[in-house]
Amino acid sequence: MHHRSTWKNRWTFMLATAGSAIGLGNIWKLPYMIGVNGGSAFVLVFIACIFLVGIPLMMTEILLGRRAQKNPYDGMLKLAQEAQVSHYWKYLGGMGMLTGLLILGFYSVIGGWVLSYIIEAAKNSFSNITAAQSSANFDGLLASPVKLLFWHTVFMCMTMGVVARGVNSGLEKANNILIPALFAILLVLLGYSMSVGDMQTAYQFMFKLDFSKITPVAVLSALGHAFFSLSLGMGAVMVYGSYLQRHVSIARTTIYIALADTALGLLVGLAIYALVFANHLAPNAGPGLIFQTLPIAFGHMPWGSFTGTLFFMLVAFAAWTSAISLVEPAIAWITENTLIKRRTAAWAIGVVVWLLGVAVVLSFNEWKDIKIIFGLNIFETLDKLTSTILLPLGGLLMAVFAGYYMKRDHVQDELDLKATAFKLWRIANNIIAPIAIAAVFLYLFGVIK
């Protein structure tokens, strides 16, 4: 009989799930997406997506996991049998496992950028750096397949090293200290940005209400990013939920995690944009944004080398805990279905994802001009395919399953909500989320112009 581990208590589950949610999505991706998608228009839609779709669906995903007590594939199969519906629902779990690996393919490469910046900060390379030098440094990193490959490899080894050992050891303890530490150092950075940056313009850029600027593309990206940021739609939260004890309140835990995740991303955004505007940089610089702007801050502040090193270390840690959750569904499936040991499974999957990462590395230099679909290179294709299609699709199907196929008292049993709260969840899960996601898909496929 396979032994399933459980979290020690609610706090560790919360930190682990927050550890999965908080990662490069908040610190690297959200800030540049805000810039690329027109600032406040994107931010407002993103916040709406978190509250109307993200929070209810995170509850859904945890409840599915806790009820199933299995990896996403077998878990969906078990739930489908319980609800006496088609066994094809298991492929929803299968799709999630695959999505996680596709995301890790590029996530690990970006995690590598962060690792290399730890070293640069520690060497005091940012001292008195100008905006132009900082951009040139970053371009230099991207132009070097050898460096990128080296750091991608280190990041993959770090990830698989923990996965091989299992989620319960080590990681839980580290989470306890490092996530609060990340918040603390962010406040230092924010304080610095407030004193030297252009906070007023940054605030206007991010929060000024202007509905006319909202475009369909901004909505599409914001919805996709709400899924990415909360780790939803691929079974990561489901697996973590499957290790959760019965008495813990799903709703309360979800709200804390979502609020922490969103607040962190927006605070990083403010800190970055105050620097962007003060240094006359372009807000729409794309994926390099934080790597071009933050060195300027660290290069000029007192204790900058120390603060910068610590900052990038904490970001690397946040990325690490998210990366682990990206592989956990696939590993849980292998270990619960075969005699393959956790360690062997971890390294085997590691090699496959590493190879995918090699292609991503090359798409920043040698293979830059190789376009896969719609003029997107390998990195962009993986990013768009997972964030704007696979995660929302996974979320949509989970919502439909929990809302329309599962027995209502089973759902209620897991959520354990008061009547009004349960009704609200049902409206969000059964109506708002599916319609919002379906509308975005229809737009994407050109049905709604």
| Number of residues assigned to the chain | 449
Report CA-CA distances (Å) from 133 to 120, 137, 279. Answer: 13, 6, 13
- In whole angstroms, how far apart are CA 178 and each of 30, 313, 315, 320? 21, 10, 10, 11
CA separation, residue 202 to residues 70, 267, 329 (Å):
45, 11, 39
Distance in Å, CB of 22 to ligand PFF, minimum? 7
Q: Which is nearer to ligand PFF, 197 or 392 (CB)?
A: 392
- Please state, in angstroms and rounded to a whole number, the distance separating the CA atoms of residues 78 and 68: 6
CB of 241 or CB of 304, closer to ligand PFF: 241
Nearest to 167 by CA among 16, 61, 289: 16
Looking at residue 209, what DSSP letter applies?
A: -
Stretch 55-114 residues interacting with ligand PFF (CB under 6 A) = 100, 103
Q: Write the binding mask 270 to 309 for ligand PFF: x where contact by CB under 6 A, - elsewhere.
A: ----------------------------------------
Q: How far is the CB of 449 from ligand PFF (least distance, A)?
A: 30
Instruction: State yes or no: residue 333 binds ligand PFF (CB under 6 A).
Output: no
SS3 content of the chain, % helix, strand, coil (to 5): 80, 0, 20
Q: Identify the burial level of 135 via C-beta atoms within 10 angstroms of its C-beta, where 0-12 means exposed, 13-18 middle and 19 or more buried.
A: buried
Backbone Cα Rg of the chain:
21
Binder of ligand PFF out of 229, 292, 293, 429 (CB under 6 A): 229
Query: Which residues touch 436 (CB under 8 Å, ≥6 apart)?
Result: 49, 52, 53, 223
Which residue in the set 20, 125, 159, 253 belongs to the binding site for ligand PFF (CB under 6 A)?
20
- Smallest gap, in angstroms, from Cβ of residue 332 to ligand PFF? 13
* Nearest distance, CB of residue 100 and ligand PFF, angstroms: 5
Applying CB under 6 A, which part among 43-51, 283-291, 321-329, 428-436 lies near ligand PFF? 321-329
231 binds ligand PFF (CB under 6 A): yes
| Residue 23 touches ligand PFF, criterion: CB under 6 A | yes
Residue 234 makes contact with ligand PFF by CB under 6 A:
yes
CA atoms within 13 A on the CB side of 120: 25
**With CB under 6 A as the contact rule, which of the stretches 9-17, 252-260, 320-328, 413-421 interacts with ligand PFF?**
320-328
Interface pattern 24-43 for ligand PFF (x via CB under 6 A) = xxx-----------------
Three state DSSP letters for 207-258: HCCCHHHCCHHHHHHHHHHHHHHCCCCCCHHHHHHHCCCCCCCHHHHHHHHH
Which of 326, 331, 433, 436 touches ligand PFF by CB under 6 A?
326
Q: What residues contact residue 56 under an 8 Å CB cut-off, 6+ apart?
A: 399, 425, 428, 429, 432, 433
Number of residues that bind ligand PFF (CB under 6 A): 16
End-to-end CA gap in the chain? 54
Per DSSP, 281 falls in state -
CA-to-CA distance for 182 and 302, rounded, in angstroms?
19
Q: Is 236 in the site for ligand PFF (CB under 6 A)?
A: yes
Q: Is 49 in the site for ligand PFF (CB under 6 A)?
A: no
| Binding range to ligand PFF, per CB under 6 A, among 20-28, 72-80, 179-187, 438-446 | 20-28
CB of 357 to ligand PFF, least distance (A): 15
- Whichever of 21 and 349 has its CB closer to ligand PFF, that residue is 21
The C-alpha atoms of residue 23 and residue 18 are separated, in whole angstroms, by 9
Residue 257 lies near ligand PFF (rule: CB under 6 A): no
Q: Does 21 bind ligand PFF (CB under 6 A)?
A: yes
Interface stretch with ligand PFF, choices 19-27, 303-311, 361-369, 420-428 (CB under 6 A): 19-27
What H or E segment, with its residue span, contains residue 308? helix 304-337
Q: Computed from CA positions of residues 336, 341, 345, 348, in that sequence, does the dihedral angle turn out positive or negative?
A: negative
15: contact with ligand PFF by CB under 6 A: no
Shortest distance in whole angstroms from residue 250 CB to ligand PFF: 18
325 contributes a contact to ligand PFF by CB under 6 A: yes
Binding site for ligand PFF (CB under 6 A): 20-21, 23-26, 100, 103, 228-229, 231, 234, 236, 322, 325-326
